[in-house]
Structure 1
Amino acid sequence: MVGKRVDRRRFLRGATVGATVATAAATGAYGAPASGERPKARRAGGTSTAVTFRWFGTAGWRIDIGSRTLLVDPYLSRYDTGLFRGAFDPATELTVDTATVGENVGRPETVLVTHAHWDHFNDVPYIARTTGARVIGTMTTCNLALASDVPSGRLGLVKGGEVLDFGDYTVEVVASLHSRNAAYSVGLPGVRLTRPDKPRTVADLPEGDTLAYQVTVKGGPSVFFMGGSDFVERNVAGLSPDVAMIAMQASDATHAYAERIVTALGRPSVIVPVHWDDFETPLTNPPKPDPQVEPHLDAFVSTVRKVSPRSEIVLPSYLTPYHFA
């Protein structure tokens, strides 16, 4: 990247010992707001907001809105498929780390799924069966959930364009796109238009189309969530979220990705890069970066600083409570 390289690990260490994002910025964080503007993102504690966000790694989040819990792409099992050793095995059996899942998901009432790849969907059926949560997602997501013994009454099929009212918050569904690799292709493509056999391996969970979601809390922030590092520019124009959880790309196949997504979203006040970690390692801070994504993350930050200098860039730690005011 052009200019001084950011010490990501130093920032993450600062975040885990209780520094606010503002003071972490002074130690080499990805960026405080310009002109001394008050930071809009702070770790939990010292704030009256009732909304708390915790990153599960990859594109996964837990959002607590008062006593209500909402999950996005909750993947906590993080088992080895060989992906980060250059020996990816699509025949890897699907497994659920029930202890880690149970310890961290709370009692969710809703689970939003961006797409059906294992690092987004793997734990969803178990969560739905054990907590009674409703699962929102594509036709593929819903059919795979049915095949995984989630009752049909707990499934919400969406395509994009829906605005769902949950009382304390709304969810706008946005038709989106999955990341492209260096070959301009999508890994594990495919859809499931009917209920398949019960999925047993990673290969049994195809992408199945991709969604994004904008969650707007009544009296609180509007937050945009991505699960793949591509998007339909016309679909996100005008959303103007306060906070954007933006997935990092692992290739340059998507033209001017950082500049286009940040601009189309209206230059959010807070930008949180996600899906940049090695999600086959334990949930231990500081997160281990995906070596293929790491240089793109640096480039993304550099671009955001130029395109949206007033945006605060927050690189999250695992399971750390954050408030966005």
Structure 2
Amino acid sequence: MRRKLLLFIILGFFALQLGSTASPVEAKPMDSDKKQMIEAREKFFGKEHVNHKTGAIRKDKVILSWFGVSNFAAAINGHVVLLDSWVPRGTSTGYVPTSSDELAQLKPEALFLGHAHFDHAADAAEIISKSGAKLVGTPEHCDYIKGQVEEDVDVACIHAVPEDAEIGTTSQLSFLKGVEITAVKHIHSDLKPNDLSDPSKPLLTVTDLSYAVEHPAKPKEFKKLLHSALTDEEGGSLLYQFKVGKFNLTWNDSAGPIKEDAPELTNVLGDLPKADVQVGAIMGFNQFTNGLRDPRMYIEALQPKVFVPTHHDNWAPPITTKGINYQEALETELERLPKSKRPTLRFISDPDDYVKPEKLTFSINDRKWK
């Protein structure tokens, strides 16, 4: 017994000695992929909204970061998703302060396509390949993107509407926990004769080539842009609503001539829950004859409290111009709405508002957005 007690005392003594001289256990270094993910999320959604250890994002905020045309990184009920997926380049390099690699580092759960023209989807295949994000769109979008990835890459597709769905088809999606998603098949912008019964002043914007001089294009990127522009396919246009609690975010990356091509859409969109925030395209082919009439008709139907213009930045001069050159025309068009139905305008413009989460952060519990 004494020998056992002595042995216990000796072992205890050495344990204390080792404990007093051993170096503290070093914290395991953070995995590099996780570190990149956290850094990317802090950039796109604000450090104050991202857990610096896990990368989790606050669920009481809906946060959008614009990265050109109608492309946004979004945090919705803590879920990270992309709305469209192209970083503008080709006519310039570095005008938009991000890259397709950085978007993949966000580890988005899903990539929503409004339509598949290059300025909305040219980086989709690469981002999905690197991040494993699900693709949400029409079956045609899915087939198109699958044709761009390597053979060993599995593209998980969620069909927002059935194949060959008619204009006005509405579907419900529920794969993001806590988020109710509605998809509506609508129409792409198109040039129409001047509408004399509902006249809006034709909009011809001023060409701005200064950014192309400050951010000259790389020949390789210009070649890729040209190829994408010549080979892309629309694959159908979709409008999405994201509902978290009582908060409703609506996003449409094109505004088509409802009056001429799909008058039934007025009732379909009008039957949707009223949007708290609508992020909607304003540049379109019809602006040259009918100004911003089409975006106004979408606003009339959806009745948002706040309207955020998109698809109005300078990514392809001389066709495009800086967003600020649309502001006066948009304000004039909104004045045509009755004051009680006129949304608050939260205007964004390039390049100052690219990847600026503070511009488009909304509390889902606050019913007074301005």
* Equivalences for residues 1-325 of structure 1 within 5 A: 49-65=60-76, 67-80=78-91, 100-105=99-104, 106-149=106-149, 151=153, 154-159=156-161, 160-165=169-174, 166-181=176-191, 201-217=228-244, 219=245, 221-230=247-256, 231=258, 232-239=265-272, 240-250=274-284, 251-253=287-289, 256-266=293-303, 268-280=304-316, 290-291=320-321, 297-307=327-337, 309=339, 311-316=343-348, 317-321=353-357, 322-325=360-363
Distance 1:220 1:103 in 2: 32
Distance 2:65 2:133 in 1: 18
Cα offset, 1:50, TM superposition: 2.9
Task: Give 1 or 2 for the bigger CA radius of gyration.
Answer: 2
Cα offset, 1:168, TM superposition: 2.1
Cα offset, 1:80, TM superposition: 2.2
The answer to whether the 8 A contact 1:175-1:235 is kept is no
Q: Alignment length, in residue pairs?
A: 246
SS of the residue aligned with 1:307? coil
Structure 2, unaligned stretches of length 5 or more? 1-45, 50-57, 162-168, 195-225, 259-264, 364-370
The answer to whether the 8 A contact 1:161-1:173 is kept is yes
Please tell me the root mean square deviation across aligned C-alpha atoms, in Å: 3.4
Q: Which amino acid aligns with 1:103?
A: E
Q: What's the CA shift string for 1:260-309, capped at 9, x where partnerless?
A: 2221112x11100000001259xxxxxx9933987665322222134154
**Share of identical aligned residues, percent?**
21
SS of the residue aligned with 1:162? strand
Q: Which amino acid aligns with 1:324?
A: F
- TM-score of the superposed pair, with normalisation by structure 2: 0.58
Q: Which amino acid aligns with 2:148?
A: S
Distance 2:180 2:89 in 1: 30
Structure 1, unaligned stretches of length 5 or more? 1-42, 82-96, 185-198, 282-287
- Which has the higher relative contact order, 1 or 2, with Cα contacts under 8 A spaced 6 or more apart? 1
Q: More helix per residue: 1 or 2?
A: 2
